[in-house]
Structure 1
Amino acid sequence: MLSMSPPPSPYTWTAHTRLHRWANIRRVIVDRFHHMTWIRNRPEGLVYRDAEQSHDGYTLFCSVTGKHATLLNPEGEVVHRWHNSEGIQHAHMLESGHLLIQTGPFPHAEGRQNMGGNSGAMMELDWDSNVVWAYRNPAQHHAYERLENGNHLVLGWYPVPKDIMSKVQGGHPDPKADPDNPVMWGDVILEVDRSGREIKRWNSWEHFDTTLDVICPLENRKEWGHANSLSTTPDGNWLVSFRNTSQIMIIDPDNGDIKWRFGAATKEFPLALNHQHAATWLDNGNILVFDNGCHRQGPGFSRVLEIDPKTNKAEWSYQADVILAFHSFMCSGASRLNNGNTLITESATARLFEVTPKGETVWEWVSPFFFQSRFGRTPFVFRAYRYDLDDPRFDGRSLAPALHSELNQRIKEGGVPDNYHGPGNERR
């Protein structure tokens, strides 16, 4: 830790290195109320890389309100970009090398427009950004998955029946609601085939417990659960994260029963989640989750937890050595890499970084892309993924940084303009 002479009140300045061998000293400004502030000289692009300890791979990410998905090489250089005129707020690669994306918000989503994570469509893009398949549903949001049988799981928002809505605990009234006809949106898991036909439906309000699944008192009663991740476990169950109730659940898709739950509402658990995101099943049977830390008692800070669902204890965790230096109030995620390291997305600051099992940061990259959102001018990144350099999905692909020389130079010099689209093959 390196201390510096403090400027006039109310700010305290400290500088610290995250075991970066002094290669990267980050300045953190914390006001008297323990709130993080935006540093004046924000780094962009590759901030740090330990070539020996970091995982060599391609990193995929997209800006929440942008229209591109971007692929980076280990040196932090852009080597490919996909474009979609309807936006790309979440993307991951299929085994075919195609991209499965969730588009930007649907403009006429029947009351869902200002609910974070709202989308209009799920699309499959080929390497050249051509749409080869699409499923459109103005109710869909946040998460989706292609199943082995070719069908898809998708999250949707639908109205909670009035008789159940009146029993839901917690939250504060929606100030924009019609007092004579208030609406509460609940999460639905849909399985649809490639034609869009509904195969299966799980309505959260039919399985939630109003005494356990309580909305945070600081959240709007417009939504009950606010699911933000959905995936299938090896035994065919669904793993789902619900932000507004600060719980993650394992659900039996055959009968809809909640087989396991973990979170703030169940006091028996030794750990409490606070508006978490991105629950992910690991090969060892544990669950990795990004705990955002919103609305904690005391200052908000984020952490990543690896939870053993058999014991409900954390087998591994990461949080910053300067605790307030790592915090995202929204989105975010973490994924375990093949070398045992963990790739973390700190969405609000648009920071992607990789840590070792000991918590040492060995790769760090900050997005330079800014767009307008409901919060104003923001660089938000939803979630990043890492793929091995020798992954067959990249066979025969052109992945030369020179193909994106102008953008890479702009990132290096700190000169990427807002709403940047790019020259050449990057469509406007």
Structure 2
Amino acid sequence: MGWSSHHQNGLIYYNPQQSYRGYTLVATNRGGTYANLIDMEGRICHRWYHPEEIVYGYLLPNGNLIFRSRTARNESEGPTFGGRSMSLIELDWNSNVVWKYESPDMFLHHDFERLLNGNTLVLLWAPVPADLSVQIKGGFVADDDPEQSWGDVIQEITPNGEVVYEWKSWEFLNVDEDVICPLEGRKEWSHQNALNVTPDGDLIVSYRQTSTVGIVDKASGQFRWKWGPGEVNHQHHPTWLPNGRVMMFDNGSHRRGASRSRIIEVDPETNEIGWEYTGTPDISFFSYNISSAERQPNGNTVICEGAPGRIFEVTQSKEIVWEYVSPFYGEGAGGPPQNGVFRAHRYGPDHPALFGKDLDPRRYSNLNRLYASG
């Protein structure tokens, strides 16, 4: 959605009768050093700080915040593609570091998942083998293209950093099927921007470069389901729903016709779209990159229209019942400050992460005079 710098930030609208009441976690996608937990009135109720920047994170059941830190600043720190992060960090409720991980061999990016066994799934970049790299189709050629395209690797690591599982995407992709969008470069083949798990422990992946979503059998490494080209465009954040569908944010970048985003639920058994949300008019809802969609216990969906920092909640009948624009800005990469949000998560009052926690917004009264007044 486009608007001027005079557009209202903070809470825009709230319907308490139809919303799923809870606390929403918001962090600035680039340049921010705080993650903020806000209530339905848009007031800060808790915040975490780390000097290495909090790009994107979520709450663990014990109330800790796990997040990825700042992006690479220059080539000496590794590839500076969008989504690159220097480390994964876990903070306790009082912003003390309790765990930190930096890959010794590859480069962290985009997403991660803490597993029930205490291990963590991490997403990394590594060069695609040279003989395969030259076979990759699509994309445009640039003068600064590397000799080998980069590909995505998923690892499961123990708390002490030991790798106990590894999956390399290029070993299971198909050069004839997984073709890069002609408007994207060839530095990366797939550009995985999401990593989630099904109830059975299989991997849900999302490839921006090829507009593909898939479910990978974790044991064999084979795709159980792969879908997307011609249906979605540069999507983000596929998640498994209790109804057996996969919900995702279809960004709509580089689609034919007017630019617009949508939220869809797809049945992996039939490839049929069972539910869809679009803006009214269509063009009023659009984020070129980042973004998320998260189903709530009452059936509503919290949507993060990431690039403009807009977060809103819709009912199953597609009525907006809560709307908020992030007032938290970080320094852009050589550009003006921005309030983009990679993803947003809502936590109900009964979520275990919040048990026994002080969430009184009066502790942040001075900040809330700045950020919660709209």
Q: TM-score range by the shorter chain?
A: over 0.9
Matches of 1:290 and 1:300, distance apart in 2: 14
Among candidates 242, 257, 266, match of residue 298 of structure 1: 257
Separation in 2 of the partners of 1:111 and 1:71? 31
> In 1, are the aligned partners of 2:312 and 2:324 still within 8 Å (CA)?
yes
Unaligned runs of 5+ in 2: none
With over 3 angstroms needed to count, the CA separation of the structure-2 counterparts of 1:412 and 1:396, relative to structure 1, is closer
**Which segments of 5 or more consecutive residues in structure 1 lack a partner in the other structure?**
1-35, 266-271, 415-428
Q: CA deviation at 1:284?
A: 1.4
Aligned pairs for 1:345-384 (under 5 A) are 345-374=304-333, 376-377=335-336, 378-384=338-344
Match of 1:101 in 2: 67
Aligned runs of 1:381-396 on 2, under 5 Å? 381-396=341-356
Which residue number in structure 2 is paired with residue 289 of structure 1? 248
Measure how far apart 1:96 and its partner are: 0.8
Deviation of residue 108 (structure 1)?
5.6
Aligned residues: 370
TM-score, length basis structure 1: 0.84
In the alignment, structure 1 residue 329 sits paired with structure 2 residue 288: yes
- Greater Cα offset, 280-289 or 137-146: 137-146
The answer to whether 1:316 aligns with 2:275 is: yes
Does the 8 A contact of 2:41 with 2:372 survive in 1? no
In structure 2, distance between residues paired with 1:110 and 1:327: 34
1:398 Cα deviation from its structure 2 partner: 1.4
TM superposition shift of 1:413: 5.1
Partner of 2:4: 39
Residue 349 of structure 1 aligns to a residue whose secondary structure is coil
* 1:74 Cα deviation after fit: 1.4
SS in 2 for 1:371: coil
Query: What's the C-alpha RMSD, in Å, of the aligned pairs?
Result: 1.5
Q: CA deviation at 1:109?
A: 6.0
Corresponding position of 1:16: none
Deviation at 1:40, TM superposition (A): 4.6
2:178 pairs with 213, 237, 251, which one? 213
1:68, distance to aligned residue in structure 2 (A)? 1.0
Name the counterpart of 1:276: 235
Question: Does structure 2 retain, via aligned residues, the 8 Å contact 1:246–1:263?
Answer: yes
Stretch deviating more after TM superposition (121-130 or 372-381): 372-381
Identical aligned residues as a percent: 43
How far does the alpha carbon of each residue in 1:225-269 deviate from its partner, in whole angstroms, 9 at most, with x for none? 01011111111210011111000011011121111101116xxxx
The ranges of structure 1 where at least 4 consecutive aligned residues each deviate by more than 4 angstroms after the TM superposition are 108-112
How far apart, CA to CA, are the structure 2 residues paired with 1:389 and 1:37? 33
Identify the match of residue 156 of structure 2 among 191, 197, 201: 191
Confirm or deny that 1:123 pairs with 2:89: yes
CA–CA distance in structure 1, aligned partners of residues 209 and 182 of structure 2: 9
Partner Cα separation in structure 1 for residue 183 and residue 334 of structure 2: 18
Alignment partner of 2:307: what SS? helix
Separation in 1, partners of 2:330, 2:91: 22
Q: 1:70 aligns with which of 28, 33, 36?
A: 36
Per-residue deviation, residues 117-155 of structure 1 (Å, max 9, x unmatched): 101111111000101011112601001011122111111
Q: Which amino acid aligns with 1:46?
A: L
1:165 to 2:124 alignment: no
Deviations 1:270-307 (A, max 9, x none): xx010000000111111010000000111110000011
- Other-structure match for 1:245: 210
State whether residues 134 and 148 of structure 2, in contact with CA within 8 Å, keep that contact through their aligned partners in structure 1.
no
Alignment match, 1:410: 370
Q: The residue matched to 2:331 in structure 1 has which SS?
A: strand
CA distance in 1, matches of 2:42, 2:57: 18
Q: 2:110: which partner in 1?
A: 142
1:105/1:113 contact within 8 Å kept: no
Higher RCO (C-alpha 8 Å, min separation 6): 2
The answer to whether the 8 Å contact 2:310/2:323 transfers is yes
The one of 264, 268, 287 equivalent to 2:229 is: 264
What do the CA deviations read for 1:311-369 (whole angstroms, capped 9, x no partner)? 11111110001111100001000000011000000011100000000110000010112
